[in-house]
């Protein structure tokens, strides 16, 4: 037990909230000493139960591959991820967790806020979530698909925290950025390869359209890398946790730049002049005619070599020289983040 307490003392340094530390203290108090008096508290298979009693109702529910369910099973990591919500400049405020599943993150979040919303699509978890987190005025459990949910419907500031199902992670991320009232802050878990694309800068091997969207609409920072053993069932890929602070576009060309980026990155190895001719033949014009301030050297640059500000400048130029094209790109850019 001394070792357990020492370990917990070491991880308490990650957290600033007293409630989070209290959860860790309870974890130590309820844990048996490894060996003769009880099972190993750090088993090789993280999803093994810590006691010999029968499985709880939520642990009898098998994860559904069709829903991309890989549940976080490490309570210390859950506390650490939940604590990242405190980095929001508007914390404390409403916290919305997407896909709480068995509730390991939910328990930590409930200790941090008086206004917790849980958005869960799988009806099998409703009973266990209500048992673990009584639906008082401060906890609201909503059975719905997050892709169909109107997050900013009542205009209250909110933070989103989620171990995102990998099969919908990118569409859901884009939806949140594109909300009329987006979250003020997000703590999101992605497949590591996706996270690399989100945080990539021009010149990085993972740089692309998602990188452009993120730079134009938010500030992002990678916080943690997680191994497959932190989940049940263990996925075949590694995961990363990022924090995202969305910002409403201040430039009128932002949405058009997003749509233009999407079109042109389909031809990322081609020059701007050639990629535009292939991607936007309906204009009947060359890139030089649409973007007259772009010299021949700029038009010869590969799409990979264009930064987010370059796409923004191109979009603004198109408004002056082909306003109908700009208007269409503006509409398409907003739609890209809603579908």
Assess whether 85 and 210 both reside in one domain.
yes
Assess whether 227 and 105 both reside in one domain.
yes
Assess whether 97 and 168 both reside in one domain.
yes
Average pLDDT over the chain, rounded to whole?
A: 83
* 42 lies in some domain: no
pLDDT of residue 52: 36
Assess whether 154 and 138 both reside in one domain.
yes
Residues 94 and 176: their CA atoms lie apart, in Å, by 15
Binding residues are 70, 72, 99, 120, 145, 163
Residue 221 has pLDDT above 70, yes or no: yes
Range of the structural domain that residue 314 is part of: 254-336
Assess whether 237 and 280 both reside in one domain.
no
Binding residues for S-adenosyl-L-methionine are 70, 72, 99, 120, 145, 163
pLDDT of residue 73: 85
Instruction: Tell me the pLDDT band of 125, cut-offs 50, 70 and 90.
Output: confident
Is the omega angle on the peptide bond into residue 281 within 30 degrees of 0, that is, cis? no
pTM of the model: 0.79
Can you list the positions of beta strands (E) in the chain? 71-72, 94-98, 116-120, 139-143, 158-163, 185-191, 218-226, 231-232, 239-246
| Share above pLDDT 70 across residues of the chain, in percent, rounded to a whole number | 78
Which of 208, 224, 246 marks a domain boundary?
246
Gyration radius from the chain CA atoms: 23
Whether residue 128 contacts residue 56, with contact meaning beta carbons closer than 8 Å, is answered with yes
Instruction: Tell me the pLDDT band of 41, cut-offs 50, 70 and 90.
Output: very low
């Amino acid at each position: 037990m001394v070792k357990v307490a020492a370990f917990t003392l070491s991880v308490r340094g990650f957290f600033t909230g007293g409630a989070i530390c209290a959860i860790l203290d309870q974890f130590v108090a309820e844990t048996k000493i490894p060996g003769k008096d009880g099972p190993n508290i750090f088993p090789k298979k993280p999803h093994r139960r810590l006691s010999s009693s029968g499985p709880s109702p939520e642990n009898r529910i098998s994860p559904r591959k069709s829903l991309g369910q890989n549940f976080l099973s490490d309570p210390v990591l859950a506390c650490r991820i939940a604590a990242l919500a405190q980095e929001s400049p508007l914390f404390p405020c409403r916290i919305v967790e997407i896909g709480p599943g068995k509730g390991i993150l939910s328990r930590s979040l409930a200790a941090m806020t008086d206004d917790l919303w849980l958005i869960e699509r799988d009806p099998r978890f409703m009973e266990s979530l209500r048992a673990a987190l009584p639906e008082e005025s401060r906890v609201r459990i909503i059975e719905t698909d997050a892709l169909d949910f109107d997050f900013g419907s009542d205009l209250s500031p909110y933070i989103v925290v989620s171990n995102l199902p990998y099969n919908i992670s990118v569409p859901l991320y884009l939806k949140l950025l594109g909300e009329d009232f987006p979250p003020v802050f997000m703590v999101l878990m992605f497949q590591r390869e996706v996270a690399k694309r989100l945080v990539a800068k021009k010149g990085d091997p993972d740089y692309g359209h998602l990188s452009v969207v993120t730079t134009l609409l938010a500030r992002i920072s990678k916080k943690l890398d997680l191994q497959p053993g932190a989940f049940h069932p263990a996925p075949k890929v590694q995961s990363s946790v990022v924090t995202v602070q969305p910002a409403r576009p201040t430039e009128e060309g932002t949405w058009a730049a997003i749509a233009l980026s999407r079109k042109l990155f389909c031809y990322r190895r081609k020059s701007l002049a050639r990629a535009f001719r292939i991607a936007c033949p309906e204009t009947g014009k060359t890139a030089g005619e649409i973007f007259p301030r772009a010299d021949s050297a700029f038009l010869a640059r590969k799409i990979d070599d264009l930064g987010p500000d370059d796409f923004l400048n191109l979009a603004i130029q198109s408004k002056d020289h082909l306003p109908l094209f700009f208007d269409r790109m503006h509409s398409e850019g907003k739609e890209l983040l809603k579908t």
